[in-house]
Amino acid sequence: MQGMDASKAAVLEAGIARIRERFIASLEDRIESFCGLLEQLEDSATEESACLEIRAQAHKLHGICGSMGYPRMGSLAAQVEQHIDTVIAGPRPLNTDFVDELLNALLDEMEQSVDGT
């Protein structure tokens, strides 16, 4: 890493590794939350609020995944986020079929990452 001596780089690496562990540990909760929101997507009374919450959580995931060494998960999260922006800007009733598909793909990736550890 530029601009750092080896000892500081090692300290940073160790710090990032600790943050990565906590990130991995947080994945199960994130998966559980997404699963609950998937159920809410099925109900027309809650689908819009569920979409917005999925977007908010996907946005956070998109922001952190790359730094934690999970670029594919980050990319899937970004796709969820972007697609929901399109859906929300579109007509009502919302068509959330593809949100469901994208989110399931993201959940698969998250589960594989948890299993991989």
- Segment near other proteins (CB under 8 A), from 3-11, 36-44, 96-104, 106-114? 3-11
> Which tokens is 116 given?
């991989």
Q: Are 46 and 40 in contact (CB under 8 A)?
A: yes
State how far the Cα of 41 lies from the Cα of 15, in Å rounded to an integer: 38
Least distance to other proteins, CB of residue 113, Å:
15
> Interface with other proteins includes 67 (CB under 8 A)?
yes
- Spacing of C-alpha 109 from chain mean position: 10
Least distance to other proteins, CB of residue 109, Å:
16
> Interface with other proteins includes 25 (CB under 8 A)?
no
Question: Which residue among 41, 54, 78, 99 contacts other proteins (CB under 8 A)?
Answer: 78
Taking each continuous run of H as one helix and of E as one strand, the counts in the chain are 4, 0
Question: Helix (H, G, I), strand (E, B), or coil: what is residue 94?
Answer: coil
> Interface with other proteins includes 63 (CB under 8 A)?
yes
Q: Are 4 and 12 in contact (CB under 8 A)?
A: yes
Q: Under the rule (CB under 8 A), what is the footprint of other proteins?
A: 1-4, 8-9, 11-12, 15-16, 19, 22-23, 26, 56, 59-60, 62-68, 71, 74, 78, 81, 85
